[in-house]
Chain A
Amino acid sequence: AQRVTQPEKLLSVFKGAPVELKCNYSYSGSPELFWYVQYSRQRLQLLLRHISRESIKGFTADLNKGETSFHLKKPFAQEEDSAMYYCALRRSDKVIFGPGTSLSVIP
């Protein structure tokens, strides 16, 4: 079965420290993976997708097919990065979400 796991429900880091939000997936095929973010009192929005190989707001994520991982990283956390982060996998025409990690950046 296709699924997405995010082992950390909560992650706290100090401002300026590196951040890594973990995501692992299981999928029989070529996966398309995303990170979505939800800031406080805002709607869920796309942060980045692996096919674009882009850096958004300083975040990057590399697809590692060998480890079936798609961890989200940022070298220096900012207070405005505090939010819920969801890793997601596209299966056919629908997107399956992980349970989410709440990131708190301490000033």
Chain B
Amino acid sequence: GAGVSQTPSNKVTEKGKYVELRCDPISGHTALYWYRQSLGQGPEFLIYFQGTGAADDSGLPNDRFFAVRPEGSVSTLKIQRTERGDSAVYLCASSREAGGLGTEAFFGQGTRLTVV
């Protein structure tokens, strides 16, 4: 079966532009997570969805970042007025359910965003 799919795999954008990053989770997975990974660091939590609703968006760095999951499947991470500091690999993961001991999250291959 297909794993978590993220598009595009690479995105180069100019400072100040708007970008959208897409995540297609594993079918049937209700929980979806976005992480950001900067060079030399571990993945940093951004936001998590349970179904259609954002259950925890405490990791979003500021109001330029927003994410949606309107039908409880595909999610889009949106970044407005991009800055060079937004350059990173954005990872998406999904799991069968949220929480629950031992629930495994499956990761996509990531979108490498470069803001020039």
Instruction: Select which of B43, B44, B104, B110 is within 8 A of A46 by beta carbon.
Output: B104
Taking the complex as formed, is B55 at the interface, i.e. its CB lies under 8 A from any CB of chain A? Answer: yes
The count of residues in chain B whose C-beta lies closer than 8 Å to any C-beta of chain A is: 29
Q: Mark B17-36, 1 if CB is under 8 A from A, else 0.
A: 00000000000000101010
Taking the complex as formed, is A65 at the interface, i.e. its CB lies under 8 A from any CB of chain B? Answer: no
Taking the complex as formed, is B91 at the interface, i.e. its CB lies under 8 A from any CB of chain A? Answer: yes
**Would you call A99 and B40 a contact (CB within 8 A)?**
yes
Taking the complex as formed, is A45 at the interface, i.e. its CB lies under 8 A from any CB of chain B? Answer: yes
**Would you call B109 and A93 a contact (CB within 8 A)?**
no
Q: Mark B86-109, 1 if CB is under 8 A from A, else 0.
A: 000001010000110110111111
**Would you call B48 and A97 a contact (CB within 8 A)?**
no
**Would you call B45 and A45 a contact (CB within 8 A)?**
no
**Would you call B98 and A99 a contact (CB within 8 A)?**
no
Taking the complex as formed, is B1 at the interface, i.e. its CB lies under 8 A from any CB of chain A? Answer: no
Chain A residues in 8 Å Cβ range of B101: 32, 51
**Would you call A98 and B42 a contact (CB within 8 A)?**
yes
The count of residues in chain A whose C-beta lies closer than 8 Å to any C-beta of chain B is: 22
Chain B residues in 8 Å Cβ range of A46: 104-105
Chain B: minimal CB distance from A84 (Å): 9
**Would you call A44 and B41 a contact (CB within 8 A)?**
no
Instruction: Select which of B3, B42, B106 is within 8 A of A100 by beta carbon.
Output: B42
Q: For the complex, give the distance between the alpha carbons of A28 and B45 in Å.
A: 19
Taking the complex as formed, is A11 at the interface, i.e. its CB lies under 8 A from any CB of chain B? Answer: no
Chain B residues in 8 Å Cβ range of A4: 42
Q: For the complex, give the distance between the alpha carbons of A41 and B74 in Å.
A: 24
Taking the complex as formed, is B82 at the interface, i.e. its CB lies under 8 A from any CB of chain A? Answer: no
Chain A residues in 8 Å Cβ range of B93: 44
**Would you call A96 and B45 a contact (CB within 8 A)?**
yes
Taking the complex as formed, is A57 at the interface, i.e. its CB lies under 8 A from any CB of chain B? Answer: no
